[in-house]
Structure 1
Amino acid sequence: MYILKRIFVLSFICLLYACKEDKKQNTSTVSDTRDSIIVSIPEKQQPINTINTVIAKNGLFVRKRPESGSEIIIKLPFKSQVKIIEHTGITLEIRDSGKQIKGEWVKINFELPEESSNQNIDQSGYVFNAFLSSRFNNRFKILKWGEIFCDFQAYFDTDTYSELEIIDTFQFAFRDVEYDLYNYEKPFFWYNLGLETSYTASNLEELSRLSLDTLNEEYNRKYKYIQNLNLIDEEYWEKQRKRELSILKKSYDFYTIQIKAHFDPKILLTLDIPASKHEFCDVYIERLVSGGQSLIDYWDNFVEEQCKNNYSPSNCYHESIEGKGTEHEETYARMYLIKWALGRCTKLDAYRAYEEQTEMQERFVSTLYGFEEDCQETD
């Protein structure tokens, strides 16, 4: 599953940076999506022969004339360097997500990219200068990360996002993948933004370690951590933060019930049981609360039913009746039934779907520029 997930994320990243650019209208206002245009305030007009860097995420079209319908000479990739050789005075205005960008068509000289299939084309043409920057090294910073087989790097625009926003949002979006963030130091939770405190027990030693105090400490610490993350200042990320805090709270409530039920099953009488589950749950809770031989008999029947369809029914049964016939038989029956059946009787829904997590990763990657990957070949 991990390999498939990694392949999916990498495939999306590659597609995200595929070349595309919408047509733009000269001296008019046109609508574009965020992934086809960089939203920025055009920099102050640069003198002739000034070196600029292409900051269009998906590459910048160079045209034969200073108009959007003109023939395309080439598309220059992000981070290409060009020299402005003429200001045309022909302006262009673009609307993106309610924001307007004004700029000018300028004539440039450029070097052909190494991967260009045509090395004999004219190395001058016209571009929209809102996609150029004379202060690239100060404006764009590198984010480097990696995992077991691959190293990655991309740029983020400090005119749009702070370093702290990028780092915290990266951690929040990619926490379930074992990445290392190379060029920044900050403690990560990775897999465990969710609660990790033990809330079930299979034997007496594990039972003795169940602790509401430990659970409370972890919950409060992680709730505060998520609440204080400096996520990208967009409605989408605040919605995800609220969703994550809701998941954490639901998990905490469920874990609390589980721990308390090991020592006082009467707490289960307070459960809000889904209507479709009453037939099973009413009997289940009644046996846990009553205890004694009726609980032990219910344990036996439950294990037998669970193991019927197991690939090895005999082994399943013997592994599920630890403590049977001992002085702690009733305690083992309670531990087993709480661990394997209580979840049926709750409205937990305390998880984030794989699709939701992948969506967050895609959303984060869409804020970056000039993505590069270096992966080892594996047998």
Structure 2
Amino acid sequence: MKIMWVKRFSIGTFILIYAINAALAQTKSWTFDDELCTYKGYYDSKKYTEKQLVDTYSLFRTSHYVPDNETVEELHARFDSTIHHVENLEIVQTSYFQHLKKDVLRYLQETAALKKVQKRAKEEPESLIAAVREGTQARKYAEALYKGGDDLLEAYEHVIKEQMKNNSTPDYLWHNYETTMKHADRLDRAFDYVLVYGWWNSANHLVHHINYDGTQIEKFQKLFIKVETLDCDEP
């Protein structure tokens, strides 16, 4: 009887040790950070791969900003490259992050469309109208930019007055406006100003932006079995 008990005990111990080792083998760790702290997260490698976690983290921690100080062709290429990169991110298969990926792609695609139109505004001012919805402030600026002349100058004055409402130096803005109006090339200057501070700013408000309010990092941390805080900077 003692021998059988020892054998049963040995088999039971072996099974327990095997189960513990198996659990440890599938639990892996990955280090990441937010604005203030560095964390070490432990995750189930049967649920997520490290690449999925890295790509998911990159999805919401990267600004995906595309500078627009290039030619139209370079802008096209840069946006296409960024969109292609996001499309190929291997993120975790949760509904929240899958939806977030679609939101990021929508933001990039809508921004790209507007930026491309803005780049060709002087050659194709009519495209500014088609790029934004009817009844919006952006549409009004687009029509003024297309018509030019007095309509453009009225829009220029309107932009300045709107900016003066929330500017710490409104007199300086108005002085610049009056100075510009004295120049022979005031229409060209007004066009450039209204295009950026009128049309673009208004059109950009119509883009599907993402609110990065901390929800993303909270959802990300929930992917882990356990998260340890390694270090934090002073807030």
Output the TM-score relative to the length of structure 2. 0.78
Taking the TM superposition and a 5 Å limit, the aligned residue runs for 1:338-353 are 338-342=195-199, 343-344=201-202, 348-353=206-211
For 1:170, which of 54, 57, 63 is the aligned residue?
A: 57
1 or 2, which has the higher helix percentage? 2
Q: Does 1:154 align with 2:41?
A: yes
**For this pair of structures, how many residues does the alignment match?**
225
| 1:274 Cα deviation after fit | 3.7
The secondary structure found in structure 1 opposite 2:13 is: coil
Letter of the structure 2 residue corresponding to residue 366 of structure 1: K
In the alignment, the residues of structure 2 paired with residue 376 and residue 271 of structure 1 have an alpha-carbon distance, to the nearest angstrom, of 45
| 1:233 Cα deviation after fit | 2.6
Q: Does 1:49 align with 2:13?
A: yes
The secondary structure found in structure 1 opposite 2:12 is: coil
| 1:333 Cα deviation after fit | 0.6
| 1:335 Cα deviation after fit | 1.1
* CA offset digits 1:27-83 (Å, max 9, x no partner): xxxxxxxxxxxxxxxxxxx9333596xxxxxxxxxxxxxxxxxxxxxxxxxxxxxx7
Look up the match of 2:5. none
Letter of the structure 2 residue corresponding to residue 172 of structure 1: L
Taking the TM superposition and a 5 Å limit, the aligned residue runs for 1:243-282 are 243-275=103-135, 277=136, 281-282=139-140
Aligned-CA RMSD value: 3.2
Look up the match of 1:139. 26
Look up the match of 2:66. 196
1 or 2, which has the higher strand percentage? 1
Are 2:56 and 2:91, in contact at CA under 8 Å, matched by a contact in 1? yes
Q: Cα–Cα, structure 1 residues 378 and 322, in superposed 2: closer, same or farther, change >3 Å?
A: farther
Pair member with larger Rg: 1
| 1:164 Cα deviation after fit | 1.3
Are 1:322 and 1:332, in contact at CA under 8 Å, matched by a contact in 2? no
Q: Cα–Cα, structure 1 residues 291 and 168, in superposed 2: closer, same or farther, change >3 Å?
A: same
| 1:305 Cα deviation after fit | 4.5
| 1:336 Cα deviation after fit | 0.8
In the alignment, the residues of structure 2 paired with residue 332 and residue 273 of structure 1 have an alpha-carbon distance, to the nearest angstrom, of 25
| 1:312 Cα deviation after fit | 2.3
User: Unaligned 5+ residue runs, structure 1?
Assistant: 1-45, 53-82, 85-131, 176-189, 199-208
Taking the TM superposition and a 5 Å limit, the aligned residue runs for 1:1-379 are 47-50=11-14, 133-146=20-33, 149-173=36-60, 175=61, 190-191=62-63, 193=64, 195-198=65-68, 209-275=69-135, 277=136, 281-282=139-140, 284-292=141-149, 294-308=151-165, 310-319=167-176, 324-342=181-199, 343-344=201-202, 348-355=206-213, 358-376=214-232, 378=234
Q: Which has the higher contact order (CA 8 A, sep 6+)?
A: 2
The secondary structure found in structure 2 opposite 1:144 is: strand
Letter of the structure 1 residue corresponding to residue 209 of structure 2: Y
The secondary structure found in structure 1 opposite 2:11 is: coil
